[in-house]
């Protein structure tokens, strides 16, 4: 059974396959929840100190987008859900090692359909030991 | 040193039996906690400055500023001490939260320095000779005589560190063992009558 959508009414078309046809003046739309991402993008992290703990936050709603521990100086955070275009994100980095400690680092960036690149510039904490 | 960080209440609990906080030690622990999986989800706990080298082994003292956090000693009758640098900030400019029974000695300095000593006393031989050459026989009148100094300091230490109790219209002080009585005072009200409540005057007996 097929259906035809025209003038705001869905009608059955007997003896046809299960497809939906648009008649004159029909409008199809995809509905989504406000919490659904509008797309996914990659965020590239550069120059982070290996071993640092990081946290990526959507500043619109303070939700965590990604977190972890850096295993290399540069890496990509893939499939970051984007809730607005552009989306302002906060990137926090902390590292407190036994030999070296760094000041808590925080920066911001905009993520759009092309993603974003965040360059990290941590400063060694010379007061803490 | 043992600390318990409560991120919800922004309190750094000093756990028993620790009664002294070293600023450097506290800062190191704060940086460690900020970098934990939980700590990174919260803002910075403190800023710190200092340690600029002034020449030789002398450097500027550390000032630790708590950003809306406070330290809180465990409850009990004792004198807590915060030393090794300046502790500022906190809530309404108070870096130490109230703990029942605890008197906190906050040692601050507008020009604190840190002297690094690798071995010995840290004095040069010239400074040593100068120190040893001081006239120790002349005691200023405002200072207790050397012979009395020990006992008077012991008395002050005992007053601050031992048990206090009010009984039979008298206040009794004990030394730090809470057993040895060191002083007893008669208590009087505003009309000079012996009392245990609304005390206006005490007289040592």
Is position A100 within any domain? yes
- A86 and A46 fall within a common domain: yes
Residue A90 phi, psi (nearest 5): -110, 135
Is position A110 within any domain? yes
A50 in Cβ contact with A73 (< 8 Å) = yes
- A44 and A3 fall within a common domain: no
Assign A34 a pLDDT band (cuts: 50, 70, 90): confident
Is position A89 within any domain? yes
**pLDDT of the residue at A19:** 64
Of the given ranges (B38-52, B62-76, B129-143, B159-173), which has the lowest mean pLDDT? B129-143
- Alpha-carbon gap: B53 to the closest alpha carbon of chain A (Å): 11
pLDDT reading at B111 higher than 80: no
> Looking at this predicted complex, what is its ipTM?
0.74
pLDDT digits (tens, 9 = 90+) for B74-107: 999 999 999 989 999 999 999 999 999 998 888 8
- Alpha-carbon gap: A1 to the closest alpha carbon of chain B (Å): 54
B60 in Cβ contact with B50 (< 8 Å) = yes
pLDDT reading at B117 higher than 60: no
- A69 and A13 fall within a common domain: no
- A9 and A50 fall within a common domain: no
Is position A74 within any domain? yes
Mean pLDDT of chain A: 88
- A50 and A108 fall within a common domain: yes
Give the nearest partner residue to A127 out of B34, B40, B51, using CB atoms.
B51
- A77 and A20 fall within a common domain: no
- A20 and A46 fall within a common domain: no
Is position A95 within any domain? yes
Q: Which domain holds residue A99?
A: 39-119
Q: What whole-number distance in Å separates Cα of residue A39 and Cα of residue B68?
A: 38
Is position A114 within any domain? yes
- A56 and A101 fall within a common domain: yes
Q: What is the CATH number of the domain that holds A73?
A: 2.60.40.10
**pLDDT of the residue at B32:** 95
C-beta contacts of B39-48 below 8 A and 24+ residues apart? B39/A94, B39/B5, B39/B7, B40/A53, B40/A54, B40/A55, B40/A67, B40/A92, B40/A94, B41/A55, B41/A64, B42/B7, B43/B67, B44/A104, B45/B5, B45/B12, B45/B69, B46/B89, B47/B89, B48/A125, B48/A127, B48/A128
* Closest to A4 in 3D by CA, of A28, A13, A15, A16: A13
Is position A56 within any domain? yes
Which residues does B contribute to its contact with A (CB < 8 Å)? 24, 27-28, 30-32, 34-37, 39-41, 44, 48-51, 62
- A45 and A25 fall within a common domain: no
Helices within chain B (DSSP H only): 23-34, 125-132, 146-161
- Give the number of domains in chain A: 2
Taking the CB of residue B24, how many other CB atoms lie within 10 A of it? 19
* Closest to B106 in 3D by CA, of B133, B87, B130, B123: B87
pLDDT digits (tens, 9 = 90+) for B128-152: 778 778 776 665 555 556 566 677 7
Token pair for B154: 């012991």
- A52 and A102 fall within a common domain: yes
Please give the interface size between A and B, counted as residue pairs whose CB atoms are below 8 Å apart: 41
- A56 and A25 fall within a common domain: no
- A6 and A60 fall within a common domain: no
Strands B58-60 and B53-55: antiparallel
pTM: 0.63
Helices within A32-119 (DSSP H only): none
CB contact under 8 A, B40 and A55: yes
- Alpha-carbon gap: B123 to the closest alpha carbon of chain A (Å): 25
Which residues does A contribute to its contact with B (CB < 8 Å)? 53-55, 64, 67, 92, 94-96, 101, 104, 125-129
CA dist list (Å): B84 to A86, B20, B31, B61: 48, 10, 17, 8
pLDDT digits (tens, 9 = 90+) for A54-96: 999 999 999 999 999 999 999 999 999 999 999 999 999 999 9
Chain-centroid distance, C-alpha B32: 25
């Amino acid at each position: 059974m097929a259906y035809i959508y025209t003038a705001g009414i869905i009608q059955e078309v007997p003896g046809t396959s299960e497809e939906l046809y648009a008649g004159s003046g029909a409008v199809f739309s995809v509905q989504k929840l406000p919490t659904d991402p509008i797309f996914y993008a990659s965020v590239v992290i550069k120059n982070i100190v290996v071993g640092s703990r990081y946290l990526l936050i959507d500043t619109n709603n303070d939700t965590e987008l990604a977190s972890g521990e850096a295993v290399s100086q540069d890496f990509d955070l893939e499939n970051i859900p984007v809730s607005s275009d552009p989306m302002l994100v906060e990137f926090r980095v902390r590292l407190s090692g036994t030999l070296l400690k760094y000041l808590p680092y925080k920066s911001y960036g905009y993520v759009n359909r092309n993603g974003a690149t965040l360059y990290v510039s941590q400063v060694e904490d010379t007061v803490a030991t | 040193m043992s600390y318990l960080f409560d991120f919800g209440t922004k309190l750094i609990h000093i756990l028993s039996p620790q009664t002294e906080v070293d600023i450097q030690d506290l800062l190191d622990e704060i940086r460690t906690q900020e970098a934990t999986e939980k700590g990174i989800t919260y803002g910075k706990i403190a800023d710190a400055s200092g340690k600029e080298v002034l020449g030789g082994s002398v450097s500027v003292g550390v000032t630790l500023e708590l950003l809306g956090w406070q330290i809180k000693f465990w409850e009990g009758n004792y004198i807590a001490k915060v030393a090794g640098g300046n502790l500022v900030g906190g809530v309404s400019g108070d870096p130490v939260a109230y703990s029942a029974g605890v008197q906190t000695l906050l040692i601050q300095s507008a020009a604190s320095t840190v002297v690094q000593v690798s071995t010995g006393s840290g004095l040069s031989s010239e400074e040593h000779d100068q120190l040893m050459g001081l006239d120790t026989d002349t005691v200023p009148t405002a200072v207790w005589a050397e012979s009395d100094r020990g006992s008077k300091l012991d008395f002050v230490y005992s007053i601050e560190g031992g048990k206090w109790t009010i009984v039979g219209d008298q206040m009794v002080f004990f030394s730090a063992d809470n057993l040895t009585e060191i002083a007893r005072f008669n208590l009087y009200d505003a009309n000079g009558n012996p009392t245990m409540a609304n005390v206006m005057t005490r007289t040592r007996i």
